[in-house]
Amino acid sequence: MTCIAQAWQYTWVVGQLDVRFDANGDVQQCGGMPHLLFGGLKDGSESSALLDKLLQHPYVLKVEPEPKAQHVLSVYEKQVQAFAAEVVGVVPERLCLRRIPGTHDRSRDGAPGCAESTDAQGGHAQAVVARAFLELGKRFGGADIAIQNAGGVRNAIAAGDFSIGDAYLALPYKNMLDRLHMTGAEIQQVLEDAIAAYLANPGAASGSFPYAAGLRWNLDLNATHGTRFSQLQVKQDNRWVALHATQIYRVITNDYIAAGQDGFTTFGTIDETRREPTYLHYAQALADYVRSGGSMARPVPDEMSTQQLIERAH
């Protein structure tokens, strides 16, 4: 027997693993549970009642800070805070967060004007993240296209100074960037897969909606699977040209959807000979893009991946 266990990420929970061995040292049984550590809530009867309710859950464990450990951690905490506060560029205008363009899935960004400015073509934040990935991919090994899932970008990006911490707020996961060598037909299929996942469960799968840099399209949500995307164009030598079904393109994407997750099924079918890690952490890639002078302006309409959207009939 082999036990496989993991406790999420970033030490958000502490994992307890219980293993029983026989006399020969072979594993006979595995068990365990996660522990979500709480240091307490603000004073007040409502907060205290909430804490009491939380502590009834077997996964929640209240802990008190250990002074020696706190002292050791404080040294690193200050370094992390200084690192996160480093300003690497300026955002001229708010980059609104929006998963699905159109009128049926309104912007989740409550800032004034964000709904109206993203109805036609979708989120600025997702588009700029894709643009950053494409530029970093070009510098490190080459890239023609970048593709990003809408739900992978978690925060809008406010106007003003942009810090390393802001990059990690927008992209908080542990994802790295991968490069896949794909035909134009495979690229269209991965887009079709993602939209099919969204349409199968619009309420829960809006994060599957694709964004891209170096690639644009028209999208008809009423069409049948395999025909929803049309006018697929890739940018080459500053000109938009047709995406060719048999031509090989270098696609930069995060390693989560590169594995076929979030509805991007065809990504997961690309064999190992046609995929390679860039070893670029995706949030650090965004920060490095900005630090090197990469534009954080909203993309002009011609550069947005969704050029035209026909919404699903209801």
Q: Is 112 part of a structural domain of the chain?
A: yes
- Whether residue 16 contacts residue 33, with contact meaning beta carbons closer than 8 Å, is answered with yes
pLDDT at 43: 60
Same-domain status, 132 and 4: no
| Dist. CA 215–CA 243, nearest whole Å | 8
- 262: which DSSP letter? T
Same-domain status, 35 and 106: no
Alpha helices in 171-293 (DSSP H): 184-200, 255-258, 282-291
Same-domain status, 164 and 120: yes
Same-domain status, 45 and 163: no
CATH assignment at residue 275? 3.90.780.10
Contacts of 229-234 with CB under 8 Å at 24 or more apart are 229/188, 229/191, 229/192, 229/195, 231/307, 231/308, 232/184, 232/187, 232/188, 234/144, 234/145, 234/184
Query: Which residue's structure tokens are 């891209």?
Result: 212
Rounded to two decimals, the pTM is 0.84
Q: Is 43 part of a structural domain of the chain?
A: yes
Q: Is 290 part of a structural domain of the chain?
A: yes
| Dist. CA 157–CA 167, nearest whole Å | 9
Q: Is 51 part of a structural domain of the chain?
A: yes
Same-domain status, 133 and 36: no
Q: What is the signed CA dihedral for 35, 39, 43, 48, rounded to 10 degrees? A: 20
Q: Is 77 part of a structural domain of the chain?
A: no
Q: Which is nearest to 266 in space by CA: 190, 207, 205? A: 190
Q: Which is nearest to 287 in space by CA: 191, 170, 183? A: 170
Same-domain status, 101 and 247: yes
Q: Is 8 part of a structural domain of the chain?
A: yes
Same-domain status, 144 and 174: yes
Tokens of 92: 């001229």
Residue 179 is inside which H or E element, if any?
Answer: strand 176-183
φ, ψ dihedrals at 150, nearest 5°: -55, -40
Q: Is 224 part of a structural domain of the chain?
A: yes
DSSP SS3 for 229: strand
Same-domain status, 111 and 235: yes
- Whether residue 143 contacts residue 179, with contact meaning beta carbons closer than 8 Å, is answered with yes
pLDDT at 53: 84
pLDDT at 63: 86
pLDDT at 110: 79
Instruction: Kindly tell me the burial class for residue 167, based on how many C-beta atoms sit within 10 Å of its own C-beta (0-12, 13-18, 19 or more).
Output: buried
Same-domain status, 103 and 39: no
Q: What is the pLDDT along the chain (314 residues), one digit of tens a residue?
A: 888 887 777 778 898 999 999 999 999 999 998 998 887 766 655 667 777 888 899 999 888 888 999 999 999 999 999 999 999 999 999 999 999 999 876 656 778 889 889 999 999 999 999 999 999 999 999 999 999 999 999 999 999 999 999 999 999 999 999 999 999 999 999 999 999 999 999 888 999 999 999 999 999 999 999 999 999 999 999 999 999 999 999 999 999 999 999 999 999 999 999 999 999 999 999 999 999 999 999 999 999 999 999 998 87
Same-domain status, 255 and 131: yes
Strands 176-183 and 248-254: antiparallel
Q: Which is nearest to 99 in space by CA: 86, 109, 113, 89? A: 109
Same-domain status, 49 and 168: no
Q: Is 111 part of a structural domain of the chain?
A: yes
Same-domain status, 107 and 1: no
How many domains does the structure of the chain reveal?
2
By residue range, what is the domain housing residue 136? 84-310
